Amino acid sequence: MREGDFSQTTGAPALRLIGDVESVSEAERERTRVIRENVTPDAVVRNFLRNEKVAEPMQYIHFQAHAQRKWFPVWFYIDQTKLTVNGVVEDLRGQVATYPSSRDALVNRLAGKDAAFRQSTGKAEALRAKLVRGEITAPTDIDQDVVFAAAVQALPTTVKPKDLETIRKTLLHCLDRAQGADARSSNRRGSIYRAACRLDELLYAKKT
């Protein structure tokens, strides 16, 4: 253990450094990287789309019992807890939920009684077929974002994992364009959130 004093300058208090100073390599910082932000609707979806490890995954699951929206990724966070699905369900049932209907909807999803899958039609159905074939073209405006999110919600289990990861990154850009406070942006976020849930099911539900 080393102890030293920094020289004091006029108007600034002296600081005492106690202990050893060790540099942290870039590789070590990356290995231990976690997200320690407040849990918000955007954070729950965005961390999933970024494939970020979070410090307390159960808090991202508990949050969903206190949010009005009912479509948030959950399997991704369960995978990080290393708990069983039954264990998470029992934990949720023991929560005092701000929105019991949201909590119950989440429990139903975990029990296999509901899913984010929704059949697509029109332009979204045509795009869904392309996504299934691995023909992924990123949308470039908000109208295309709506069609893309609807197509993602209809994806089947046969989509290749590498294509799902490409779609995941693309959906993040859609979310970035849906940050307005107007009703149209809010509705678009809702569609993107549900699309994220469909990706969450396809990527992680079988792992838990």
Chain segment 96-129, per-residue pLDDT in tens: 999 999 999 999 999 999 999 999 999 999 999 9
Q: How many CB atoms within 10 Å of residue 19?
A: 8
Rounded Cα–Cα distance for residues 159 and 120 (Å): 16
The residues, any chain, with a CB within 8 Å of residue 46's CB and separated by 6 or more, are: 172, 175
Query: What are 28-37's pLDDT values in tens digits?
Result: 444 334 444 4
pLDDT tens readout for residues 182-200: 999 999 999 999 999 999 9
User: What is the model's pLDDT at position 33?
Assistant: 43
Which sign, positive or negative, has the C-alpha torsion 160, 161, 167, 170?
Answer: negative
- Going by C-alpha positions, the residue among 181, 174, 163, 192 that lies closest to residue 72 is 192
* pLDDT tens digits, 47-79: 999 999 999 999 999 999 999 999 999 999 999
